Amino acid sequence: MSAIGLLGTGSYLPKEEITNEEIARRVPDITAEWIGRRTLIHGRRYAAPHEATSDLARNAGAAALEAAGITADQLDYLIVATSTADAPLPPTSSLVQNALGAHRAACFDINIACAGFVYALDIAHGLAAQRPGSHVLVIGADLYSRFLDYTDRGTAVLLGDAAGAAVVGEVPDGYGILGTELGGHGDAHELIWIEGGGSRTPASHATVDGGGHYLRMKGRGVADFVMANVPPMIEPLLECCGVTVDDIDHFVPHQANGVLLGELVERCGLTGARTHTPLVKYGNMGAASVPVALDEAVRDGLVSDGELLLLAGFGAGMAAGLCLLRWSA
């Protein structure tokens, strides 16, 4: 079986920069200093009124295709990981496929929130492995600024809009995706939710008036979930791949909260790796967090040939996913 890895990465950040000072003007009883101290986030990007999730995804996908040196009509599959689809139907991936001109590609969405990009990489790995010479475009994209309640400081201060992408295909032996570890915990589904707009609680005047279309989160419970469930996943993954935690050169986590990530690095024993945290500038980008962080590191020349990267996604569901890969330049 051929080695499967990443042939190119890309990302897209909307132009509008939202500072902590601006958030503090919108959210009652907080200050910019409070936001920075509690989250280490100092900015985030919001999509323009004419932009939807598919627009962000299209731009990130185009950048990844350019980096990989292939065209959209060479794609065999296109996967969009998002929990903020343009609409219930059609799939956002169909809109992205059409916008890119990837008319050969089978396309579909997955919704596992902030773990989505890592889950999609695992799916892409399997698809590419079973079809030699194929290419898979994987995109993580979310536009949470349309789902924020500015009376809820637990969510409004964290989230921004973005998309990140990677082209998956054959790489030289010894490189690429070495292994993944995925975990679902539906018993904790009540920690992050959007109540209204689905089949159980369809959109109505009542759901809108009651704020049912806003994102809700139990922050302390989410932090406890991450600390309890992500660190134990690392050892079996590394053991399966024949490496140790000291071999990891880069840690690329979901950009949930800077304070939380600092604690997670310590708990996982990853202090020897370089942790990438563009959340300082962009906030929590949902499913885009991991690919945006990865693309920024690659484009800044921080990742070298042969280095080991551990990608980690975690979020609503609840779900967590790890992907270990050896970078091929």
Per-residue pLDDT of 287-308, as tens digits, reads 999 999 999 999 999 999 999 9
Residues 167-180 have a mean pLDDT of: 97
Whether the per-residue pLDDT at 329 is higher than 90: the answer is no
- Token look-up 């030699």 returns 132
Is residue 114 annotated as a catalytic residue, yes or no?
Answer: yes
Average pLDDT, the chain: 97
Residues 182-186 have a mean pLDDT of: 97
Numbered ranges of CATH 3.40.47.10 in the chain = 3-173, 177-326
User: What pLDDT, in 10s, does the model give residues 211-252?
Assistant: 999 999 999 999 999 999 999 999 999 999 999 999 999 999
Given 241, 254, 268, 276, which residue is catalytic?
254
Given 20, 59, 257, 284, which residue is catalytic?
284
The pLDDT of residue 323 is 98
User: What pLDDT, in 10s, does the model give residues 52-88?
Assistant: 999 999 999 999 999 999 999 999 999 999 999 999 9
Yes or no: domain 3-173 corresponds to CATH 3.40.50.2300 = no
Contact 58, 83 (CB under 8 A): no
The pLDDT of residue 2 is 87
State percent of the chain over pLDDT 70.
100
Whether the per-residue pLDDT at 1 is higher than 80: the answer is no
Instruction: Indicate whether this model's pTM tops 0.95.
Output: yes
Provide the token pair at 327: 């970078």
Round to whole Å and give the CA distance between 242 and 153: 43
Is residue 323 annotated as a catalytic residue, yes or no?
Answer: no
Is residue 284 annotated as a catalytic residue, yes or no?
Answer: yes
Q: Is the dihedral of CA 259, 306, 321, 270 positive or negative?
A: negative
Round to whole Å and give the CA distance between 42 and 24: 11
Burial class (CB in 10 A: 0-12, 13-18, 19+), 59: buried
Given 20, 59, 114, 125, which residue is catalytic?
114
Q: What is the CATH number of domain 177-326?
A: 3.40.47.10
pLDDT band at 123 (very low <50, low <70, confident <90, very high): very high
